[in-house]
Amino acid sequence: MDKKKGVDDTEPGPAPSRPVDRFGFIKTEHSNSPEGILKSRSTHEHEREERRIRKWRKMIGVGGSDWKHYVRRKPHVVKRRIRKGIPDCLRGLVWQLISGSRDLLLMNPGVYETLVIYETSSSELEIIRDISRTFPSHIFFQQRHGPGQRSLYNVLKAYSVYDRDVGYVQGMGFIAGLLLLYMSEEDAFWLIVALLKGAVHSPMEGLYQAGLPLVQQYLCQFEKLVTEHMPKLGQHFQDEMINPSMYASQWFITVFSYSFPFHLTLRVWDVFLYEGIKVVFQVGLALLRFCHDDLVNLPFEQLLHSLRNFPEEATDPDTLLPLAFSFKVSSRLVELDKEYRKKLEGPSASSSSKRFQPLKSRVMSRASSHVSSSPNVSKK
Amino acid sequence: MAANAGNKIRNAKVVLLGDVGAGKSSLVLRFVKGQFVEFQESTIGAAFFSQTLAVSDETVKFEIWDTAGQERYHSLAPMYYRGAAAAIVVYDISNQASFIRAKKWVQELQAQGNPNTVVALAGNKADLLETRQVQIEEAKTYAQENGLFFMETSAKTATNVNDIFYEIAKRLLQGQPAQNPQAGMVLSQRPNERVVSSASCCS
Ligand SMILES: Nc1nc2c(ncn2[C@@H]2O[C@H](COP(=O)(O)OP(=O)(O)OP(=O)(O)O)[C@@H](O)[C@H]2O)c(=O)[nH]1
Ligand SMILES: [Mg+2]
């Protein structure tokens, strides 16, 4: 095994054979979260899991053939099951189905390959610089120029060509990396397109555009929600001069795929892909609520520390997610969105409400027009 | 400074600025935890650390903001450097482009920052001598011309890492002799004197 990675020689070197958790992350003394370790399951639990997978398979059908039908007939069943967590072995497929990326892929055959092979991007060097700094503790991404790093590079480069205005932005790598653990390069690419261009939910590209407009907006909305749901904490943040960009910007920029326990990240993504960005707000609120009574007593510095290092109990998905769903934020978010836009654009703005609708049709036309409008892409 | 004469612990807000991969996080990690990792995750947004340092009979407590280097995150930076007692502008001695970027940061600090802010220029990765692209003389001259103090550092070998923070602490405690005897005022004890721009995005 390749051993020249990780820690420098002044550190007590890690054991020669490096144990990984069940997701492939190399274990450190700190990351012994119970979820990360392969639990020896009782036969009973095992059978229950098998049953669950069978149910899911039935819901999906062969290669996803029954999915749309099922969702249309029983959306609430789907929602409930997703909230309980998608079985890990089906996760990659289900993510593609619920995000709308499967459709994009099917409508754009050959496009990804062309982006990767024939196009060049001004972001290439920037991407390369970050490749070995994205999930450096995961075995798949650790090997220099190994398959993990190569596919990460390809996906990021392809996106930076696909949308040259956005290009490559630090933070995308964590999303791409997460996806690549569950699907092929091409699938991961279209899932990113689906998210950023808004295949099912409102587009998220504003998180990465110049000036980070959507980050600013979400943080502002988040701050309001904190004050509304936890007035005491909101006041305390104000007194201590903590604003959400100090702790929550990566929550939005990477959708909890950066520096959170991986088992939590996965469960958040299950729900996020189905229900949209409001999940990030809900999970954020739940984290604050869970630690509320501690947080309200902490001064600036400890407060910041706690907001970056949540205790293990707080990041257990089976505790955190139900708490998250107890925050009803959808309609308030729509209001806050309108308010925010009004403030930004002045009184004459009216086209703004468009952004909050799923824009499937627009993405589709954009994705396919890319094929025909770019000379390099169509000659293949 | 006389205001808190009874109390020997001074808080000082420090911000690290510089190009992607110059080694901002690594410098902080070395200073705060005494560690170095070969593949440090890129910083998304900004990260906060703190560390105290004793300087003669006083203690300076650094509140350190480590920022993200990518140009796209530029819009988040002012909130961290505004009101900072000190800024460390970091470049990578094996990367000329990072030096150019460092100069841009210095310009921006001069134009937008607090004139009392102590600015340090750190030529990091000083261990990478074979691949050096920025000559030490060039950086030294630039620093002199711009009233910065300059050190080459290595987060990897720990060379000059504590020293740069020590030097900052000393200058903060003395006030900047050259131009500004008041610089020490930026040090503050009470949280509400902390001049982080709390300008909320909404208000
Ligand atoms: N040889 C050597 N490598 C270093 C040194 N400092 C940092 N590095 C390496 O350079 C890479 C980038 O370091 P970071 O500390 O993450 O850089 P950064 O400035 O925080 O980068 P961003 O967070 O992306 O803006 C990492 O892989 C480090 O291991 C150093 O002094 N010597
Ligand atoms: Mg960093």
| Closest chain A C-alpha to B144 CA, distance in angstroms | 31
Q: ipTM score here?
A: 0.84
Average pLDDT, chain A: 85
**Rounded CA separation B44/B27 (Å):** 16
Q: Do A19 and A27 meet the contact criterion of CB atoms below 8 Å apart?
A: yes
Which atom, in ligand 1's list, is nearest to the CA of B154?
31
**Rounded CA separation B71/A219 (Å):** 20
Please count the other Cβ atoms lying within 10 Å of the Cβ belonging to residue A261.
Answer: 21
Task: Find which of A4, A246, A247, A298 to mutate to test the B interface (most B CBs within 10 Å of its CB).
Answer: A246
Name the residue among B76, B73, B102 with its Cα closest to residue B89.
B102
* pLDDT tens column, A15-61: 446 788 888 888 775 554 444 445 556 788 889 889 999 999 999 98
In percent, how much of chain A has pLDDT > 70? 83
Which atom, in ligand 1's list, is nearest to the CA of B22?
19
Name the residue among A245, A249, A247 with its Cα closest to residue A302.
A247
Name the residue among A290, A289, A226, A286 with its Cα closest to residue A256.
A286
* pLDDT tens column, A225-235: 999 999 999 99
- Mean pLDDT score, B151-158: 98
Structurally, at CATH architecture level, domain B9-174 sits in 3-Layer(aba) Sandwich (3.40)
- Mean pLDDT score, A128-156: 92
**Rounded CA separation A188/A186 (Å):** 5
Q: Whose CA is nearest to atom 11 of ligand 1?
A: B21
Q: Which of A133, A173, A216 comes nearest B40 by C-beta?
A: A133
Q: Whose CA is nearest to atom 30 of ligand 1?
A: B125
Q: For residue A42, what pLDDT is reported?
A: 77
* Half-sphere exposure (Cβ direction) of A17: Cα atoms closer than 13 Å: 0
- Mean pLDDT score, A145-159: 95
Q: Which residues contact A262 (CB under 8 A, 6 or more apart)?
A: A21, A23, A25, A36
For residue B101 and ligand 1, the question of a CB distance below 6 A is answered with no
Contact between chains at B44 and A340 (C-beta distance less than 8 A)? no
Per-residue pLDDT at A364 exceeds 80: no
Q: Whose CA is nearest to atom 13 of ligand 1?
A: B23
* pLDDT tens column, A122-131: 999 999 999 9
Q: List, in order of start, the domains of chain A with CATH numbers.
A: 213-342 (1.10.472.80)
Please count the other Cβ atoms lying within 10 Å of the Cβ belonging to residue A322.
Answer: 11
- Mean pLDDT score, B186-200: 41
Give the distance (Å) from ligand 2 centre to CA of residue B86. 18
- Mean pLDDT score, A69-83: 94
Residue of chain A nearest B22, judged by CA positions: A129
Contact between chains at A246 and B48 (C-beta distance less than 8 A)? yes
Q: For residue A347, what pLDDT is reported?
A: 58
| Identity of the amino acid at A212 | L
For residue B139 and ligand 1, the question of a CB distance below 6 A is answered with no
Give the distance (Å) from ligand 1 centre to CA of residue A310. 26
* pLDDT tens column, B167-189: 999 999 987 444 443 433 344 43
Per-residue pLDDT at A238 exceeds 50: yes
Model confidence band, residue B57 (pLDDT cutoffs 50, 70, 90): confident
* pLDDT tens column, B86-130: 999 999 999 999 999 999 999 999 998 888 899 999 999 999 999
Residue of chain A nearest B11, judged by CA positions: A301
Q: For residue A348, what pLDDT is reported?
A: 52
| Closest chain B C-alpha to A166 CA, distance in angstroms | 9
Cβ of residue B130 closer than 8 Å to a chain A Cβ: no
**Rounded CA separation B46/B24 (Å):** 11
Choice from A8, A133, A168, A169 to test ligand 1 binding pocket (greatest atom count within 8 A of CB)? A133
Cβ of residue B56 closer than 8 Å to a chain A Cβ: no
Q: For residue A194, what pLDDT is reported?
A: 98
Q: What is the 3-state secondary structure (H, E, C) of chain A?
A: CCCCCCECCCCCCCCCCCCECCCCEECCHHHCCCCCCCCCCCHHHHHHHHHHHHHHHHHHCHHHCCHHHHHHHCHHHHHHHHHHCCCHHHHHHHHHHHHCHHHHHHHCCCHHHHHHHHCCCCCHHHHHHHHCCCCCCEHHHHCCCCHHHHHHHHHHHHHHHHCCCCCCCCCHHHHHHHHHCCCCHHHHHHHHHHHHHCCCCCCCHHHCCCCCHHHHHHHHHHHHHHHHHCHHHHHHHHHCCCCHHHCCHHHHHCCCCCCCCHHHHHHHHHHHHHHCCHHHHHHHHHHHHHCHHHHCCCCHHHHHHHHHCCCHHHHCHHHHHHHHHCCCCHHHHHHHHHHHHHHHHCCCCCHHHHHHCCCHHHHHHHHHHHHHHCHHHHCC
Residues of B in contact with A214 (CB under 8 A): none
Residues of A in contact with B192 (CB under 8 A): 239, 241
DSSP strands (E only) in chain B: 9-18, 46-55, 58-67, 86-92, 118-124, 149-152
- Mean pLDDT score, A362-369: 41
Model confidence band, residue B50 (pLDDT cutoffs 50, 70, 90): very high
Query: In angstroms, what is the C-alpha Rg of chain A?
Result: 21
* pLDDT tens column, A273-318: 999 999 999 999 999 999 999 999 999 999 999 999 999 999 999 9
Contact between chains at A136 and B48 (C-beta distance less than 8 A)? no
- Mean pLDDT score, A327-333: 94
Q: For residue A373, what pLDDT is reported?
A: 36
Contact between chains at B75 and A212 (C-beta distance less than 8 A)? yes
Residues of B in contact with A6 (CB under 8 A): 37-39
Q: For residue A345, what pLDDT is reported?
A: 79
- Mean pLDDT score, A83-88: 96
Phi-psi region of A256 (alpha: psi -120 to 50; beta: other; left: phi over 0): left
CB-based burial label for A371 (10 Å; 0-12, 13-18, 19+): middle
For residue B130 and ligand 1, the question of a CB distance below 6 A is answered with no
**Domain spans of chain B?**
9-174
CB-based burial label for A76 (10 Å; 0-12, 13-18, 19+): exposed
Name the residue among B103, B20, B113, B107 with its Cα closest to residue B68.
B20
Which atom, in ligand 1's list, is nearest to the CA of B30?
6
* pLDDT tens column, A92-137: 999 999 999 999 999 999 999 999 998 899 999 999 999 999 998 8
Q: For residue A332, what pLDDT is reported?
A: 95
For residue B44 and ligand 1, the question of a CB distance below 6 A is answered with no
Q: For residue A378, what pLDDT is reported?
A: 35
Contact between chains at A240 and B191 (C-beta distance less than 8 A)? yes
The count of CB pairs under 8 A between chains A and B is: 113
Choice from B16, B19, B26 to test ligand 1 binding pocket (greatest atom count within 8 A of CB)? B26
Q: For residue A4, what pLDDT is reported?
A: 37
Q: Which of A135, A169, A305 comes nearest B72 by C-beta?
A: A169
pTM of the full predicted structure?
Answer: 0.86
For residue B123 and ligand 1, the question of a CB distance below 6 A is answered with no
Q: For residue A167, what pLDDT is reported?
A: 96
* Sheet-wide strand order for B86-92: B46-55, B58-67, B9-18, B86-92, B118-124, B149-152
Residues of B in contact with A132 (CB under 8 A): 39
Q: For residue A137, what pLDDT is reported?
A: 87
3 state SS of B63: strand
Residue of chain A nearest B61, judged by CA positions: A301
